[in-house]
C-alpha cells in the first residue's frame, strides 16, 4: 500500500534560505506522527509542504501515491485537511457557520449544501464537544473552545489525512490533553492519518505512534517514542541535557530536563567538605 | 538611519533647487550665495520675497502631512487610514468652501480679501470636526477601530455639505472652491508659513517621542497596556498631533492630495521597516511636495495645482516600489 | 420577524415612498391610476420620472451594497469601499475625457466610457499587485488601488480645472444623482449588473474561506487567484454599472456592509443579500428626502446620502457592538 504522505528528495526553503535539504520521509496511513525539533528546524515548513501551502524548491510530495502537483487544490482538500498555526478568526460568525466552511471542498455550484453536509457538520461538532455552543460567536469563545471549533471544521472536511500545526498552543494542560485525546479518538474511530507539530515532548510521546525529529535540514531520528527520545538525541536536537524516564501511568517516555551542573564551589568550601568526608 | 539621511539630503537639494527654479533664472550657487547674505538686491528680492516663502511652505506642508500620515497609519494599524479619517481635512474643506462660496471669494483665493480669512476658517473647521470625531468615538475610552469608523461617518457628512455648496455655487466660485480642494501653493506667503512652523516646532518633537509607544501598540492593545503604555493618553497625543499638523498644512495649502497616504508607505518600503518610520515619512512628504511644486511652476505654461502633481508623481513611484520591493503587512 | 423580513418590508416602504412622494405634489390616487394605466400619466411625472428613478435607486443601491461587501471581504479591510481598486476613479476619468475631449452627450457612450475606464483601472491595479508578489495578502491590492485611484483622480482634476465647461458638467455628475434617466437607458446596464451579481454570489463561499486567512483558505481547496479574479469581476461590474447610472456615489459601498454585519453576521451567504437590501433602502430613502427638502430644486441623492448617511452611520457605530473584520 502507498504511504499516506511521502516526501521524496524534498528540498524546502524561503527565498534563498534552505530549511530542509533532500529529505525523504514516508507517513504510513492510519498512524499518528508528530514532528518535533528545536524552533526553526523546519517542522512547520515540512507540514506546509505536506499541505501544499508551500511549493517545494526541489523534490516531490505524494499523497496516497499521487504527486500533489498533479492534483487540483480542491481534490487535495477532499483528501487532506490542514489546520494552520494561526488561522484568522472571522468577524461575527457562529461556531456552526465556522464548522460548515469545512464542507467547502465537497460543494460546487451544481452540488450546493445538502442534508448530508448538515449531518457531517453535526457529527463533527458533537465529536469535538462544541455542539452545545453551536450558536455562540467564535470571537467570544475561550481558547480551548475555539481550538475545538477549528478541529471540528477540519473534521467536517472528512479527509483521510489531517495536518495540525501546534494544535495545543495557548491551551492549559488540561485542554492540551483534551485536544490530543480528541486527536487519538479521531485516529481510532475514523482511521485518519494524522501528522502534527508539537512542542511538548512528553505529550508528543504519549499520544503519537511515531516521532520524527528534524535537525539541521534533515531527519535526526525517526521511530517509536522510546527509540527517538534518548538523551543523545535530545542533546543534539535541542542542546538539552535531560533524563528520559518511563511515565508511571502510561509507560511512555517522560523527558525530565536537568539543571545545568552548579558552578564549582569555592576552593575553601570544597576543602571543608573533603575534611568532613575524611 | 541611512535612508533618513539620504531623504534629508534629497529634501535639502530639492529645497534649494526649488528656490532656483522659476521664470527668472537663478543658479543654485546664486541661491546659496544670496541665502548666505552675498546676493544682489534683485536676487535678494526674488529669493526672500518670492521663492523662499513658497519653498518653505512646500517643505512645511510636506513635513506636516508626511508625519501626520505616518502617525495615523501606525496608530490605526491600517495603511488606508490617512489623517482625513480623523475628520480634520473634511472639516477644513467644508469651512474653506463655505467661506469661498458664501463669502464670494474671487478666482484666486490667495489674492482675494478672504486670503486671510480662509486659512482661519479652515483651521477652525478642521479642529472642530476632529474634536467631534474624537468626542463621538469616546465610549469609556477611544478604540482605534471605532474612531476610524466614526471618522468615515463624519467625513461623509461634511463631504456631502461641501459638494452641495460646490454644486450650488456660481461657476467662478465653484472653480475657486475646486481649486482649493485640490490643494495649491500658489497663494502662500510668509504669513501662511508661520503657523506650520509653529505646529512643527511644538508638535513634531512630541510626536517623535511617541515613536516607542507606537511600536509597542502595534502588538495589540493588551500587550501595550501590559508593557506600561498609558494607552488612552498615548492615543490622544498621537491623534491630536496628527490633527494639528494636518490642520496647519491644510489651512495653508488646501488638502494637498495623497501626501499623507503615500509618504509613509514610500518611507516604509525604502527603510524596509514593518511600520512607517516617522521622521523619514515626514521628509519623504517634504521631498514629494517640493518636487511637485517645482514641476507645477516650471513644466507648464499655466500653473498646475501642486495637489495634482503630488499624486501624478507619488502614485507611480509607490507603484514601482510595490512591484520591485517586498512589503509586509500594514 | 426575521432580519430579512424587516429589511424586505423596509424596502417595500421606501419603494412606495419613492413612487408616491416627490417635489411635484401628485395625489396618491393619481399616481396609482397612472401606474395601472400609463395612458393617464399625462405629465409623465410617474412614468417619466418617478418610476425610472425608483428602479435606478433599487439597482444602484443593491449593486453598491454588494460591491462594498465583496471589496471588504476580499481585502479584509473595513475601510475598503468599492472604489478602492480604482473603479470609480477610472470611470470618472473616462467620463471627463468623454466630455472634455470627445464632447459626448449620449448616455450610451458615457456608459460605455465609464465601463471601459473602470475595467482598465481595475485590471491595472490587479496587475500591479500580482506583479509585486503573490495574491495571498490583500494589502498590496489595497495600496495599489489607492495609488492608481489617486493618479486617475489627479488627471481628472487637471482636466476639470482647465476647462470651465467640463467643470460645470463634472461638478454635478460627480455628486451622484438618480434623476434625468429613462427606463430605456437603464436596460443595457442591467445586464452588466446581473453579471456582477452572479460573480458576487459565486464569490460568497470564497469570501467565507478568505475570512479564515489565506493558509486556511488554501487548505480548504480554495484557488486564491480564481477567488480574487471572480471577486474583482463582481466589484468591477457592479461598481462600473452603478457609476455609469448614477455617478460615483461612494458612501453606501463603504457602510452598507458594516450595517449588514451588525444585522446578520459575517457569513457572506447572508451578508451579501443583507448589504444589498441595506444599500437599496438607504439610497431610495435618501433620494426621497432629497426631493422633499429642496422644493423645486431637488438636492442630489449623493449629497443627502453623505450628510444623512454619515450621521446615521455615526449613530449605528456608537450603538453597535463592533464586529472587527
Residues C160-186 have a mean pLDDT of 79
- Residue A12 φ/ψ, nearest 5 degrees: -125, 150
Choice between A88 and A108, residue whose per-residue pLDDT is larger: A88
Name which of B108, B261, B311, B330 to mutate to probe chain C: the one with the most chain C Cβ atoms within 10 A of its Cβ: B311
Nearest to A151 by CA among A99, A195, A87: A99
Contacts for C123 with CB less than 8 Å, ≥ 6 apart? none
Terminal CA-to-CA distance of chain B, rounded, Å? 21
Crossing angle (nearest 10°) for helices B144-168 and C301-319:
160
Examine the pLDDT at A42 and tell me if it is beyond 50. Answer: yes
Examine the pLDDT at A183 and tell me if it is beyond 90. Answer: yes
Terminal CA-to-CA distance of chain A, rounded, Å? 68
Q: What is the ipTM of this complex?
A: 0.77
Cα–Cα distance measured from residue B53 to residue B68, given in angstroms and rounded to the nearest whole number: 22
Give C325's contacts in chain A (Cβ within 8 Å). Answer: 91
Residues A37-43 have a mean pLDDT of 90
Contact predicate A167/A179, CB 8 Å? yes
pLDDT attached to residue C63? 95
Q: Which residues pair with A245 in a beta bridge?
A: A254
Examine the pLDDT at A96 and tell me if it is beyond 90. Answer: yes
**Cβ density class B86-118: b for 16+ within 10 Å, e for less:** bbbbbbbbbbbbbbbbebebbeebbebebbebb
Examine the pLDDT at B329 and tell me if it is beyond 60. Answer: no
pLDDT band at C168 (very low <50, low <70, confident <90, very high): confident
Nearest CB to A87: which of C202, C216, C221? C216
Closest A-chain CA to C220? A77
Average pLDDT over chain A, rounded to an integer: 88
Choice between A83 and A272, residue whose per-residue pLDDT is larger: A83
pLDDT band at B289 (very low <50, low <70, confident <90, very high): very high
pLDDT band at C194 (very low <50, low <70, confident <90, very high): very high
The lowest-confidence range among A224-238, B85-99, C181-195 is C181-195
Contact predicate B263/B278, CB 8 Å? no
Residue C113 falls within a domain, yes or no? yes
Give B171's contacts in chain C (Cβ within 8 Å). Answer: 164, 167-168
Crossing angle (nearest 10°) for helices B278-298 and B2-20:
20
The lowest-confidence range among A82-86, A186-190, A271-275, C207-211 is A271-275
Residues C27-34 have a mean pLDDT of 83
CATH number at residue C42: 1.10.3470.10
Cα–Cα distance measured from residue A212 to residue A233, given in angstroms and rounded to the nearest whole number: 11
Cα–Cα distance measured from residue B267 to residue B330, given in angstroms and rounded to the nearest whole number: 13
Cα–Cα distance measured from residue C59 to residue C242, given in angstroms and rounded to the nearest whole number: 8
The distance of C29 to chain B (nearest Cα, Å) reads: 34
pLDDT attached to residue C322? 52
Choice between C134 and C20, residue whose per-residue pLDDT is larger: C20
Cα–Cα distance measured from residue C239 to residue C225, given in angstroms and rounded to the nearest whole number: 21
pLDDT attached to residue C134? 56
What domains, with CATH codes, occur in chain A?
5-71+160-277 (3.40.50.300), 88-158 (no CATH)
Examine the pLDDT at C197 and tell me if it is beyond 90. Answer: yes
Cα–Cα distance measured from residue B92 to residue B88, given in angstroms and rounded to the nearest whole number: 6
pLDDT attached to residue B113? 44
Contact predicate A196/A167, CB 8 Å? yes
Residue B329 falls within a domain, yes or no? no
What percent of chain A clears pLDDT 70, i.e. is strictly above it? Answer: 92
pLDDT attached to residue B187? 76
Residues B131-160 have a mean pLDDT of 85
Contact predicate B52/B46, CB 8 Å? no
Q: Helix, strand or coil for residue B74?
A: helix
Cα–Cα distance measured from residue A28 to residue A65, given in angstroms and rounded to the nearest whole number: 11
| Alpha-carbon C318 to chain mean position | 25
Residue C192 falls within a domain, yes or no? yes
Nearest to B136 by CA among C301, A80, A167, C314: C314
CA distances for A121 relative to A78, A154, A157, A273, C208, angstroms: 15, 10, 9, 69, 16
Length of chain C: 325
pLDDT attached to residue A198? 93
Neighbours of A218 (CB within 10 A): 15
Residue B330 falls within a domain, yes or no? no
Residues B153-171 have a mean pLDDT of 86
Choice between B225 and A46, residue whose per-residue pLDDT is larger: A46
The distance of B318 to chain C (nearest Cα, Å) reads: 7
Cα–Cα distance measured from residue A146 to residue A133, given in angstroms and rounded to the nearest whole number: 10
pLDDT band at B109 (very low <50, low <70, confident <90, very high): very low
pLDDT band at A151 (very low <50, low <70, confident <90, very high): very high
Tell me the pLDDT tens digit for each residue of C75-123: 887 777 887 788 888 888 888 888 777 777 676 777 788 888 888 888 8
CA distances for B159 relative to A52, B69, B232, B298, angstroms: 48, 20, 29, 32
- Residue B92 φ/ψ, nearest 5 degrees: -65, -40
Examine the pLDDT at B112 and tell me if it is beyond 50. Answer: no
Give A94's contacts in chain C (Cβ within 8 Å). Answer: 265
- Residue span of the structural domain in which B177 resides: 2-324
Residues B40-60 have a mean pLDDT of 82
Nearest to A82 by CA among A125, A60, A49, A38: A49
- The answer to whether the Cα torsion of C41, C44, C45, C48 is positive or negative is positive
Give B330's contacts in chain C (Cβ within 8 Å). Answer: 139
Neighbours of B186 (CB within 10 A): 18
**SS3 sequence of chain C:** CCHHHHHHHHHHHHHHHHHHCCCCCCCHHHHHHHHHCHHHCCCCCHHHHHHHHHHHHHHHHHHHHHHHHHHHHHHCCCCCCHHHHCHHHHHHHHHHHHHHHHCCCCHHHHHHHHHHHHHHHHHHHHHHHHHHCCCCCCHHHHHHHHHHHHHHHHHHHHHHHCCHHHHHHHHHHCCCCCCCCCHHHHHHHHHHHHHHHHHHHHHHHHHHHHCCCHHHHHHCCCCHHHHHHHHHHHHHHHHHHHHHHHCCCCHHHHHHHHHHHHHHCCCHHHHHHHHHHHHHHHHHHHHHHHHHHCCCCCCCHHHHHHHHHHHHHHHHHHHCCCCCC
Cα–Cα distance measured from residue C148 to residue B215, given in angstroms and rounded to the nearest whole number: 29
Q: Tell whether C125 is within 8 A of chain B (Cβ).
A: no
Residue B46 falls within a domain, yes or no? yes
Contact predicate B83/B243, CB 8 Å? yes
The lowest-confidence range among A155-169, A241-255, B133-147 is B133-147
Residues B222-226 have a mean pLDDT of 71
CATH number at residue B261: 1.10.3470.10
pLDDT attached to residue C54? 92
Residue C324 falls within a domain, yes or no? no
pLDDT attached to residue C282? 93
The distance of A91 to chain C (nearest Cα, Å) reads: 5
Residue C325 falls within a domain, yes or no? no
Nearest to C80 by CA among C13, C175, C144: C144
Examine the pLDDT at C128 and tell me if it is beyond 90. Answer: no
Q: Which residues pair with C6 in a beta bridge?
A: none
- Which chains neighbour B (Cβ–Cβ under 8 Å, 3 or more pairs)? C
Terminal CA-to-CA distance of chain C, rounded, Å? 27
Examine the pLDDT at B47 and tell me if it is beyond 60. Answer: yes
Examine the pLDDT at A274 and tell me if it is beyond 50. Answer: no
Say if the Cβ atoms of C168 and B171 lie within 8 Å: yes
Average pLDDT over chain C, rounded to an integer: 84
Residue B276 falls within a domain, yes or no? yes
Give C270's contacts in chain A (Cβ within 8 Å). Answer: none
Query: For chain C, what is the domain count?
Result: 1
Cα–Cα distance measured from residue B7 to residue B75, given in angstroms and rounded to the nearest whole number: 23
Residue C138 falls within a domain, yes or no? yes
pLDDT attached to residue A273? 46
- Residue span of the structural domain in which C247 resides: 3-319
pLDDT attached to residue A78? 92
Residue B150 falls within a domain, yes or no? yes
Crossing angle (nearest 10°) for helices B117-137 and B231-253:
160
Residue C127 falls within a domain, yes or no? yes
- Residue A35 φ/ψ, nearest 5 degrees: -90, 125
pLDDT attached to residue A214? 94
Residue B198 falls within a domain, yes or no? yes
Cα–Cα distance measured from residue B301 to residue C164, given in angstroms and rounded to the nearest whole number: 18
Nearest to C111 by CA among C240, C217, C224: C240
Chain C, residues 61-100, CB within 8 A of chain B, namely 77-80, 84
Nearest to C146 by CA among B278, B85, B146, B290: B85
pLDDT band at B117 (very low <50, low <70, confident <90, very high): confident
Say if the Cβ atoms of A84 and C213 lie within 8 Å: yes
Query: For chain B, what is the domain count?
Result: 1
Crossing angle (nearest 10°) for helices B88-102 and B171-182:
150
Cα–Cα distance measured from residue B82 to residue B65, given in angstroms and rounded to the nearest whole number: 9
pLDDT attached to residue C107? 67
Name which of A50, A99, A104 to mutate to probe chain C: the one with the most chain C Cβ atoms within 10 A of its Cβ: A104
What percent of chain B clears pLDDT 70, i.e. is strictly above it? Answer: 91
pLDDT attached to residue A276? 44
Question: What is the 3-state composition of chain B as percent helix, strand, coil, each rounded to the nearest 5?
Answer: 75, 0, 25
Amino acid at each position: 500500500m502507498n504511504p499516506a504522505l511521502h516526501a521524496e528528495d524534498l528540498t524546502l526553503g524561503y527565498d534563498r534560505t534552505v530549511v530542509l535539504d533532500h529529505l525523504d520521509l514516508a507517513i504510513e496511513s492510519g498512524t499518528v506522527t508528530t514532528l518535533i525539533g528545536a524552533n526553526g528546524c523546519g517542522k512547520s515548513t515540512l507540514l506546509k509542504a505536506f499541505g501544499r501551502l508551500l511549493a517545494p524548491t526541489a523534490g516531490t510530495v505524494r499523497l496516497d501515491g499521487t504527486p500533489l502537483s498533479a492534483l487540483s487544490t480542491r481534490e487535495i482538500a477532499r483528501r487532506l485537511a490542514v489546520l494552520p498555526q494561526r488561522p484568522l478568526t472571522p468577524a461575527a460568525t457562529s461556531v456552526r457557520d465556522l464548522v460548515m466552511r469545512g464542507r467547502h471542498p465537497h460543494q460546487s455550484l451544481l452540488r450546493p449544501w445538502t442534508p448530508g453536509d448538515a449531518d457531517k457538520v453535526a457529527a463533527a461538532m458533537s465529536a469535538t464537544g462544541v455542539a452545545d455552543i453551536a450558536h455562540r460567536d467564535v470571537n467570544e469563545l475561550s481558547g480551548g473552545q475555539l481550538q475545538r471549533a477549528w478541529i471540528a471544521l477540519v473534521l467536517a472536511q472528512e479527509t483521510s489525512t489531517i495536518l495540525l500545526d501546534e494544535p495545543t498552543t495557548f491551551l492549559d494542560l488540561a485542554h492540551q490533553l483534551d485536544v490530543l485525546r480528541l486527536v487519538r479518538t479521531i485516529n481510532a474511530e475514523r482511521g485518519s492519518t494524522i501528522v502534527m507539530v508539537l512542542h511538548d515532548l512528553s505529550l508528543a510521546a504519549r499520544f503519537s505512534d511515531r516521532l520524527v525529529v528534524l535537525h539541521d535540514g534533515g531527519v535526526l531520528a525517526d521511530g517509536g517514542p522510546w527509540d527517538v527520545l534518548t538523551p543523545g538525541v535530545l542533546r543534539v536536537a535541542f542542546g538539552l541535557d535531560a533524563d528520559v524516564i518511563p511515565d508511571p501511568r502510561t509507560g511512555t517516555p517522560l523527558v525530565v530536563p536537568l539543571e545545568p551542573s552548579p558552578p564549582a564551589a569555592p576552593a575553601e568550601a570544597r576543602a571543608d567538605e573533603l575534611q568532613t568526608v575524611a | 538611519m541611512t535612508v533618513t539621511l539620504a531623504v534629508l539630503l534629497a529634501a535639502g537639494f530639492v529645497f534649494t533647487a526649488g528656490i532656483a527654479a522659476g521664470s527668472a533664472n537663478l543658479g543654485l550657487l546664486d541661491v546659496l550665495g544670496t541665502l548666505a547674505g552675498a546676493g544682489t538686491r534683485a536676487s535678494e528680492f526674488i529669493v526672500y520675497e518670492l521663492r523662499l516663502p513658497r519653498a518653505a511652505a512646500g517643505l512645511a506642508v510636506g513635513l506636516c502631512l508626511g508625519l501626520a500620515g505616518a502617525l495615523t497609519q501606525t496608530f490605526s494599524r491600517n495603511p488606508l487610514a490617512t489623517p482625513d479619517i480623523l475628520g480634520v481635512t473634511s472639516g477644513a474643506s467644508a469651512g474653506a468652501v463655505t467661506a469661498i462660496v458664501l463669502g464670494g471669494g474671487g478666482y484666486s483665493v490667495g489674492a482675494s480679501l478672504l486670503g486671510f480669512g480662509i486659512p482661519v476658517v479652515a483651521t477652525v473647521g478642521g479642529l472642530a470636526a476632529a474634536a467631534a470625531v474624537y468626542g463621538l468615538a469616546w465610549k469609556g475610552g477611544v478604540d482605534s477601530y471605532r474612531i476610524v469608523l466614526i471618522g468615515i461617518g463624519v467625513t461623509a457628512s461634511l463631504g456631502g455639505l461641501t459638494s452641495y455648496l460646490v454644486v450650488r455655487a456660481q461657476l467662478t466660485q465653484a472653480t475657486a472652491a475646486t481649486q482649493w480642494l485640490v490643494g495649491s501653493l500658489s497663494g502662500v506667503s510668509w504669513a501662511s508659513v508661520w503657523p506650520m512652523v509653529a505646529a512643527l516646532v511644538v508638535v513634531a518633537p512630541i510626536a517623535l517621542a511617541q515613536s516607542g509607544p507606537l511600536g509597542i501598540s502595534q502588538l495589540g492593545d493588551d500587550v501595550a497596556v501590559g508593557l506600561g503604555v498609558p494607552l488612552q493618553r498615548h492615543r490622544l497625543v498621537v491623534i491630536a498631533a496628527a490633527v494639528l499638523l494636518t490642520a496647519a498644512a491644510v489651512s495653508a495649502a488646501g488638502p494637498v492630495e495623497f501626501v499623507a497616504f503615500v509618504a509613509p508607505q514610500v518611507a516604509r518600503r525604502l527603510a524596509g521597516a514593518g511600520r512607517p518610520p516617522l521622521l523619514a515619512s515626514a521628509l519623504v512628504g517634504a521631498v514629494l511636495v517640493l518636487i511637485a511644486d517645482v514641476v507645477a511652476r516650471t513644466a507648464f505654461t499655466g500653473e498646475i495645482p501642486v495637489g495634482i502633481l503630488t499624486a501624478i508623481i507619488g502614485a507611480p513611484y509607490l507603484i514601482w516600489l510595490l512591484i520591485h520591493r517586498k512589503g509586509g503587512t500594514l | 420577524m426575521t432580519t430579512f423580513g424587516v429589511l424586505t418590508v423596509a424596502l417595500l416602504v421606501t419603494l412606495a415612498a419613492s413612487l408616491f412622494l416627490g417635489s411635484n405634489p401628485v395625489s396618491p390616487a393619481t399616481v396609482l391610476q397612472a401606474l395601472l394605466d400609463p395612458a393617464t400619466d399625462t405629465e409623465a411625472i410617474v412614468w417619466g420620472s418617478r418610476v425610472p428613478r425608483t428602479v435606478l435607486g433599487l439597482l444602484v443601491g443593491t449593486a453598491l451594497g454588494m460591491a462594498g461587501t465583496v471589496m471588504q471581504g476580499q481585502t479584509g479591510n473595513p475601510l475598503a469601499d468599492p472604489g478602492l481598486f480604482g473603479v470609480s476613479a477610472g470611470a470618472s476619468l473616462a467620463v471627463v475625457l468623454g466630455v472634455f475631449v470627445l464632447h459626448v452627450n449620449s448616455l450610451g457612450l458615457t456608459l460605455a466610457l465609464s465601463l471601459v475606464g473602470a475595467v482598465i483601472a481595475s485590471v491595472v491595479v490587479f496587475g500591479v499587485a500580482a506583479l509585486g508578489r503573490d495574491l495571498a495578502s490583500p494589502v498590496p491590492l489595497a495600496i495599489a488601488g489607492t495609488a492608481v485611484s489617486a493618479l486617475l483622480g489627479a488627471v481628472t482634476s487637471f482636466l476639470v480645472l482647465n476647462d470651465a465647461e467640463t467643470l460645470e458638467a463634472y461638478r454635478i455628475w460627480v455628486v451622484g444623482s438618480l434623476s434625468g434617466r429613462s427606463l430605456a437607458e437603464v436596460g443595457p446596464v442591467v445586464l452588466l449588473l446581473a453579471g456582477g451579481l452572479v460573480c458576487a454570489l459565486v464569490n460568497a463561499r470564497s469570501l467565507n474561506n478568505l475570512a479564515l486567512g489565506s493558509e486556511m483558505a488554501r487548505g480548504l481547496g480554495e484557488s486564491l487567484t480564481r477567488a480574487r479574479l471572480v471577486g474583482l469581476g463582481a466589484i468591477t461590474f457592479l461598481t462600473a454599472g452603478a457609476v455609469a447610472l448614477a455617478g460615483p456615489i461612494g458612501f453606501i459601498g463603504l457602510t452598507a456592509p458594516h450595517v449588514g454585519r451588525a444585522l446578520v453576521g459575517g457569513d457572506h451567504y447572508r451578508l451579501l443579500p443583507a448589504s444589498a437590501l441595506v444599500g437599496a433602502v438607504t439610497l431610495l430613502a435618501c433620494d426621497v428626502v432629497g426631493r422633499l427638502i429642496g422644493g423645486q430644486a431637488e438636492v442630489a441623492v449623493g449629497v443627502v446620502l453623505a450628510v444623512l448617511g454619515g450621521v446615521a452611520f455615526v449613530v449605528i457605530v456608537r450603538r453597535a457592538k463592533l464586529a472587527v473584520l
